[in-house]
Structure formats: C-alpha cells, structure tokens
Amino acid sequence: MRTQEKKTRSIGRGTRSCRRCGTHKGIIRRADLIICRRCMREIAGPLGFKKTGARGG
C-alpha cells in the first residue's frame, strides 16, 4: 500500500484552533475570538468581559 497524503479539513473541529495556545478543544467563537476556554479565563478581564452572577450554594 502506498501512503496517503493528509487532506486539509474544510469542516469540523479540526479546522479551528486556539489563536493563543493552538488546541482544538473548547473553542469560543463568539465575536470572532477563536480562543479556547482556558485562554479565555486568563485574558477575559483585559478584553473587557465581566463576571456576572454568583454560582454556588
């Protein structure tokens, strides 16, 4: 068998990666951010996002 070349993805999770760390998991696409949820927690304040509501019992 000959080896097959990888084709570039046009749809699905593999098409987008975090701009900051490069992961494909937990991507936030809101307002064209395209960063993962972990990076979002780190830089949410400087971007102008505010924490609303209190969770916990």
Structural domains of the chain ordered from first start = 15-45 (4.10.830.10)
- pLDDT class of 4 with cuts at 50, 70, 90: confident
Instruction: Give the whole-angstrom CA distance, residue 31 versus residue 18.
Output: 14
Contact 16, 34 (CB under 8 A): yes
Return mean pLDDT, the chain: 86
CA nearest to 22, candidates 8, 36, 11, 9: 36
DSSP 8-class letter at 27: E
Instruction: Give the whole-angstrom CA distance, residue 50 versus residue 44.
Output: 7
Does the model's pTM come out above 0.95? no
Residue keyed to tokens 């972990």: 38
